[in-house]
Amino acid sequence: MEKGDLAPLPAATVPKRALPEEQEPEESAIGLDGSPLEVLADELLVSDEARPLFLRILAQRLPVPLVGEDVAGQDGLVLGSPELSWEEHRVAILLLEQECCRKALEGDGWRCFGMPVAEDNFDALCQILARER
C-alpha cells in the first residue's frame, strides 16, 4: 500500500465515538482518522439507500455499525445480513430486500428497523445506541 492510500477500517478497531466531543456534528464532519465520513461510508460499502442514515448516526457520535455483516444465532447459523448492525446492542437496519430475515433476527432477540427509518424510530434507535453495554 502506498502513502496516501486509504485502508478499510475493521469494525472492531473503530472507536465507539465517531467524532471528538468538542466538534459540532455536521454533514461534512471529519472522522477520527482525518477522513470525511463520506469516505468512511465508501470504505465500508454502505449502500446508497442507507448512507444518509449511516452519516446521521455518526454525526450523533454513536457507535459505528457493522455494514452488511452476517449475523449468526446462538447455534452458529446465519440469521441474516442486515445493511447496518450493532451486535453489542442487538440492533439491525434492514433494507427492503433484507426484510425476509426480520423474523429470524427478532426471534433471536434483535431489534430491527426497516428503511427508511421514521423520525420517531430514529430517536428510539439513538437512545438504544447511546446506552453503554
% of the chain exceeding 70 in pLDDT:
72
Which residues, 6+ apart, have CB-to-CB distance to 33 below 8 Å?
9, 40
Which residues, 6+ apart, have CB-to-CB distance to 6 below 8 Å?
35, 39, 43
- Check pLDDT > 90 for residue 90: yes
- The structural domain count of the chain equals 1
Provide the domain limits for residue 39: 25-130
* CA–CA separation, 129 and 10 (whole Å): 19
- Tell me if 2 is assigned to some domain: no
- Tell me if 10 is assigned to some domain: no
- Tell me if 109 is assigned to some domain: yes
- Tell me if 1 is assigned to some domain: no
- Tell me if 99 is assigned to some domain: yes
Give the confidence band of 54 by pLDDT, cuts at 50, 70, 90. Answer: very high
- Average pLDDT, integer, range 62-87: 95
pTM exceeding 0.85: no
- Tell me if 9 is assigned to some domain: no
